[in-house]
Each structure stands twice: as structure tokens, then as C-alpha cells.
Amino acid sequence: MNEKFKYNTTSEAIAQLRAAGFDKNLTLKDGYVWWESEKFGAEDIRIASVSRYEGNSDPGDEATVYGLEMKSGLKGILVTGDGIYSDSNTVALLQKLHLAKLDKYSTSPPNERS
């Protein structure tokens, strides 16, 4: 996935991710990403795409849409409402994923960044 693509709405981003094969609906719980009964830790996940949305007038409308790839090959979509997570394990997982993405970006040649 290429982060150059920006979408006007979360629905548009989700539709494009589904078209690209991100067909699982993922959830966050207790510091893990879940799909059905499978749980994945930060070491199992790569952020392929991330898009953040801000509501026009209501901060409650803020959301982030992630296209995630698991080491197992599973590809899915995670949508988070910004600011709603009080679970420190969940916050820590998202921070690890973002840091891993930044580390890869800063150490890879420009033509390999995604």
C-alpha cells in the first residue's frame, strides 16, 4: 500500500483497502489485535496503510483507519476512534506498530517505502 493515497472519508478508505485484499475486520482488545479467535501481538503485525480523519466540528468524529498485514498472510482493517482507549496495553501496541513503521521508513531507500 502506498501512503500517498488520501481519502475524503473513512468509508472511502475502507472500500479501497477491501479492494486491495484487506478483507478481515480486526479489533483491539487487551493489547492485541484480534480477528475472530486469533490474536496478534505487535511482533506479528505490519502497518501497510494508515489514514487519519478529523471531524469537521465534533472531536468525537476523529478516527484512524489501518490496513494491517500479519506474518501469517492475513490482511485486515482496523478502525480506531481516536482518544477512546484508556487501556494502556492497547495504547502500547499502537505505539509499537507506529514506531516499527517509522523505523522501516527511516532505514529503507525511498523507492522501498510504503
Range in 11-25, 42-56, 88-102 the model is least confident about: 88-102
In degrees rounded to 5, what are phi and psi of residue 74? -65, 135
Cell digits of residue 106: 527511516
Mean pLDDT of 46-68: 79
- What pLDDT score does 24 carry? 97
**Which band of pLDDT confidence, cut at 50, 70 and 90, is reported for residue 64?**
confident
Residue 46 has pLDDT above 70, yes or no: yes
Q: State residue 82's pLDDT score.
A: 65
Residue with cell 487501556: 87
Can you spell out the DSSP letters for 44-112?
GEEEEEEEEE--SS-GGG-EEEEEEEETTS-EEEEEEETT----HHHHHHHHHHHHHHHHHHHHS-GGG
Share of the chain above pLDDT 90, in %: 37
Convert the pLDDT of each residue in 13-43 to its tens digit: 899 999 999 999 999 888 889 999 999 998 9
First vs last C-alpha separation in the chain: 6
Split at pLDDT 50, 70, 90, the class of 71 is very high
Q: Bridge-partner residues for 5, per DSSP?
A: none
CA dihedral 100, 21, 70, 114 (to 10 degrees): -20
Beta carbons within 8 Å of 19's beta carbon, 6+ residues apart: none
Residue 59 predicted with pLDDT over 70: no
